[in-house]
Structure formats: structure tokens, C-alpha cells
């Protein structure tokens, strides 16, 4: 199933590659960085790459980026959409319509169209346009929708509507030249929908582990700027959304409130980040610091501020989502506290590489115990941080992931 685990394919002329995603650099969100990394790497390898995206930024829906420009050799086509804000269905619908028009106007026979999953179900639009133009469809699954929405209790997704969406989505998986998944569990779910096994490629996400490297607390300018000297910092970095758990960390922080040497630093945004900040305010907790996304040039320092990072995933969405921040934390050489199912993908990797702790959602006692243990044992923190970084070199580095992608696209590009 991991079709990219082969010797590097000889480069042959490949048709153009189109990426579809709602956001693209200079946007700083996770999918933007992934698409940006892959697109610029393919350009460096001599391929012609286009991106069809919106004119917005993830946390600035009113932003108006240029409609057309080149960035590091990638040709960017930014289409018009409505601008009501994150999660609004009308914004998604307008993006679908604009992407369809752009693809029909620009794609040619033999081109490769890579559809990400932001917004959800963009693969259906891509499937229809690719079929009309004779292009190859590649689905890059950051999540499996609509199952994610169902697991999170989104209203109206049931009965005939749900069956119709699943049928269209399943068809887009079956007709695609490739479906790129992030884990074995996700591959199993895609396979169960009737997708041909030889059209499933497992390529994990990555971080820029060249730019992000371990930084000692004493060498980190942000520790002083944010008044975190002599503190033990429990960090979170990235989007905190509906698929995540914040109840457990909040309850643990409340119990640790009297320990003034322990600080919880949350960097990023998202629906639950705003909710967590409000709940912290309501409880009068003073051991939290909330900060916006930091500039990409400061990423290794913002990630390095924490002594240990936490991430979370609700058990209901295991196998449907894999938190990509896992790789950035590892690149920064920090231990990971994963609040998730103990049978999940991230939990297995942490146990296998001994680079952190796994806590079941709601197990406040276990989380408090883990934080106190890390705060008391600096040698343990350092050792687990090194193991997290070693894990990337063993099989999850940026270079390895990009090479797998290149191999997969080369294979697709050779078929006619």
C-alpha cells in the first residue's frame, strides 16, 4: 500500500501539476505550509506547478491577496470567494464554484490535479473537472469527510444527505489515480470504502526539520521576551479546533494553578482556542499565556519556548485525522504529551520511539502526574526530546516525505 517505498524513479517530462487548497503561503496555516513545501520542491525538480487557492488568509478572511502571482516559481491563481469567515458553508460553496471554473479554463489532458481536503469534499469538484479535461486526479487526504463531521456531531449530516455525500466522495476516491493518506489507520478506512489498494499511497505529513531545530531555553530570545525565564512551559502550537480536546488540559492546569513555576503557553488560533481562552478568563487562571501565530522565521524559537508540548485528538476521529503538529514538535526536539486514544496512531508512535507520554482524554490525574514528572526531571525531558528528533530522521523527515511525493507523481505522470 505504501507505493512510494521504492527506488527513486527516473525523471521524465511530466504534465503540469495543479494543487487545490483554500489557503497558500504567505498564509501560515498547516495545510498552506505543506502545499507550499511540496509545490516549491517540485518546481526545484523542474516541474511546472500551479496552485488554485483563495485570496484570503486563514485567520484574516477579509485579506485580499493578489489574484495572480509567482512565488518561488509556483504560479498562483487566487480565485474570488465570499468572505463570511472560517467554517461558513457559503464560503466553501463559492470556493468550489471558482475552483471549478479555474480548472476548466486552465487544465489540459494529462495534467495532474492534487486536491487537498480544505474545504471538505473539494475532491468531488476536482473529480468532475479532471474528468472533463482528461487530467489525473490525486486526493491528498488530510482528513476523511463527511465522517469527521458526523463524529463531531455536525447537524444535518444524516440520512439521504449523508448517503449522497458519501457516494460522491467514494466515487472520487475510486476514480483517482492516487489517494494519499497520512497513516495506516486512514489507509484502512479509505480501503474499506472500496478504493483500489494500488491507488492508496501512505505519505505522512512533515515539518521543515531543516529550519526547525532544537534550541536550548537559555538561547531562546522568546523566553525572555515573554517573561518565561525559570518557568516550566507546557506548550501548544497551531490550530485548536473541534476535533481536539481542551477540557483535560484546562482541568489539569486548574489543579496546578498554585504552582507558579508551571506556565501553559498556547500559540495559534481556532474555534477551541478562543473557547479555551474565555474559559481560562472565567476561572481567573493566571498560568496561561495566549499568543497569535508567530512569523515563520521565528518558528523554531516559538516551538522551542515549551519544555514539553501537548496535542490532543478526540477518540471519535482517530483514523480520520492525524495531527500534523506532531512532526513540528519532534523537529524542535521536545517531548510530546498526547491526549488521545491509547490505541491511536500518534500514541503508537510515541510509545514506539519513547518520546513522550500518552494520556486518555478526561484522565486529569494522569496528565497532572505527567506534567509534574517532566517538570521535576530535566534529564528525562532532554532524553525524550532527543528521541523525538531521532524519530524524524528514522522515517518522518521532510526530505523523505517530499521524495515519496515525487516518486508517486512521477509514476502517475508516466501513465496515459
Query: CA triplet 336, 309, 26: central angle to 5 degrees?
Result: 115
DSSP state, residue 396: I
382: nearest Cα among 322, 307, 295: 307
User: What average pLDDT does the structure give for the chain?
Assistant: 93
* Whether residue 83 is found in the same domain as residue 202: yes
Count of domains in the chain?
2
Record the cell numbers describing residue 73, joined without a space.
516559481
Are 168 and 238 part of one and the same domain? no
Same domain, 406 and 372: no
Q: Is residue 3 part of a domain?
A: no
- The reply to whether 366 falls in a domain is yes
Q: How many CB atoms lie within 10 A of CB 282?
A: 8
In angstroms, the Cα distances linking 299 to 175, 305, 396 are 39, 10, 19
Strand order in the sheet with 49-54: 68-71, 74-79, 49-54, 17-20, 112-115, 136-140, 178-181, 200-202
Residue 338 and residue 401 in one domain: no
Phi, psi of 255 (to 5 degrees): -70, -30
- Confidence grade of residue 90 (pLDDT, cut at 50, 70, 90): confident
CATH number of residue 94's parent domain = 3.40.50.2000
Judgement on whether residues 389 and 344 belong to the same structural domain of the protein = yes
Predicted confidence band at 88 (pLDDT cuts at 50, 70, 90)? Answer: confident
236-246: pLDDT as tens digits: 999 999 999 99
Do the domain assignments include residue 5? no
> What is the distance, to the nearest Å, from the Cα of residue 239 to the centroid of all Cα atoms in its chain?
9
**CA pair distance 279, 277, nearest whole angstrom:** 6
Question: What is d(CA 107, CA 69) in angstroms, rounded to the nearest whole number?
Answer: 18
Q: Is residue 353 part of a domain?
A: yes
For residues 303 and 373, membership in a common domain is answered with: yes
pLDDT digits (tens, 9 = 90+) for 21-31: 999 999 988 89
pLDDT at 9: 41
Q: Are residues 317 and 336 in the same domain?
A: yes
Residue 123 lies in a domain: yes
User: pTM to 2 decimals?
Assistant: 0.91
Domain that holds residue 254: 217-395
Q: Binning pLDDT at 50, 70 and 90, where does residue 61 land?
A: confident
Residue 12 pLDDT > 70:
no
Between CA 147 and CA 40 the distance in angstroms is 32
Instruction: Give the residue-averaged pLDDT of 92-101.
Output: 95
pLDDT in tens, 391-408: 999 999 999 999 999 999
Are 197 and 229 found together in one domain?
A: no
How many other CB atoms are there within 10 angstroms of residue 105's CB atom?
A: 10
Residues 318, 94: Cα–Cα separation, whole Å: 30
**What average pLDDT does this structure show over 327-352?**
96
- Are residues 104 and 250 both part of a single domain? no
Flag whether pLDDT at 334 surpasses 90. yes
> Which residues is 112 bridged to in the sheet?
17, 136
Same-domain status, 194 and 230: no
In a domain, 9, yes or no: no
Say whether both 225 and 182 belong to one domain: no
Residue with cell 487566487: 78
Asked whether residue 332 falls in the same domain as residue 193, the answer is no
Amino acid at each position: 500500500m505504501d507505493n512510494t517505498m521504492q527506488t527513486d524513479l527516473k525523471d521524465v517530462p511530466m504534465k503540469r501539476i495543479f494543487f487545490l487548497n483554500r489557503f497558500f503561503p504567505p498564509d501560515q496555516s498547516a495545510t498552506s505550509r505543506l502545499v507550499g513545501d511540496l509545490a516549491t520542491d517540485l518546481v526545484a525538480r523542474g516541474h511546472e506547478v500551479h496552485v488554485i487557492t483563495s485570496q484570503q488568509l486563514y485567520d484574516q478572511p477579509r485579506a485580499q491577496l493578489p489574484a495572480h502571482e509567482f512565488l518561488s516559481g509556483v504560479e498562483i491563481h487566487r480565485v474570488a470567494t465570499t468572505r463570511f469567515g472560517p467554517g461558513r458553508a457559503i464560503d466553501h460553496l463559492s470556493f468550489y464554484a471558482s475552483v471549478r471554473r479555474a480548472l476548466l479554463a486552465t487544465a489540459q489532458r494529462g495534467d495532474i490535479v492534487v486536491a487537498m481536503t480544505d474545504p471538505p469534499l473539494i475532491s468531488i469538484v476536482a473529480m468532475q473537472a479532471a474528468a472533463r479535461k482528461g487530467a489525473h486526479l490525486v486526493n491528498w487526504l488530510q482528513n476523511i469527510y463527511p465522517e469527521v463531521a458526523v463524529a463531531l456531531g455536525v447537524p444535518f449530516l444524516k440520512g439521504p444527505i449523508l448517503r449522497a455525500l458519501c457516494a460522491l466522495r467514494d466515487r472520487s476516491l475510486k476514480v483517482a489515480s492516487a489517494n494519499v493518506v497520512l497513516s495506516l489507520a486512514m489507509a484502512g478506512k479509505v480501503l474499506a470504502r472500496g478504493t483500489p489498494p494500488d491507488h492508496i499511497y501512505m505519505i505522512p505529513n512533515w515539518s521543515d526539520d531543516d529550519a526547525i531545530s532544537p534550541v536550548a531555553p537559555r538561547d531562546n530570545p522568546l523566553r525572555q521576551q515573554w517573561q518565561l525565564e525559570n518557568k516550566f512551559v507546557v506548550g501548544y502550537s497551531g490550530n485548536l479546533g473541534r476535533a481536539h480536546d481542551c477540557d483535560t488540559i484546562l482541568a489539569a492546569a486548574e489543579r496546578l494553578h498554585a504552582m507558579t513555576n508551571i506556565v501553559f503557553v498556547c500559540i495559534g488560533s481556532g474555534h477551541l482556542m478562543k473557547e479555551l481562552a474565555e474559559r481560562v478568563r472565567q476561572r481567573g487562571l493566571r498560568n496561561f499565556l495566549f499568543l497569535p501565530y508567530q512569523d515563520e522565521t521565528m518558528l523554531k524559537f516559538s516551538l522551542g519556548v515549551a519544555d514539553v508540548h501537548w496535542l490532543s485528538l478526540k477518540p471519535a476521529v482517530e483514523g480520520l485525522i492525524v495531527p500534523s503538529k506532531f512532526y513540528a514538535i519532534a523537529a524542535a526536539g521536545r517531548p510530546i504529551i498526547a491526549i488521545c486514544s491509547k490505541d491511536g496512531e500518534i500514541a503508537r508512535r510515541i510509545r514506539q520511539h519513547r518520546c513522550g507520554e500518552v494520556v486518555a482524554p478526561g484522565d486529569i490525574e494522569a496528565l497532572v502526574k505527567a506534567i509534574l514528572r517532566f517538570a521535576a526531571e530535566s534529564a528525562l525531558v532532554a532524553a525524550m526530546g532527543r528521541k523525538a528528533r531521532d524519530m524524524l530522521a528514522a522515517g518522518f523527515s521532510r526530505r523523505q516525505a517530499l521524495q515519496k511525493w515525487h516518486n508517486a507523481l512521477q509514476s502517475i505522470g508516466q501513465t496515459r
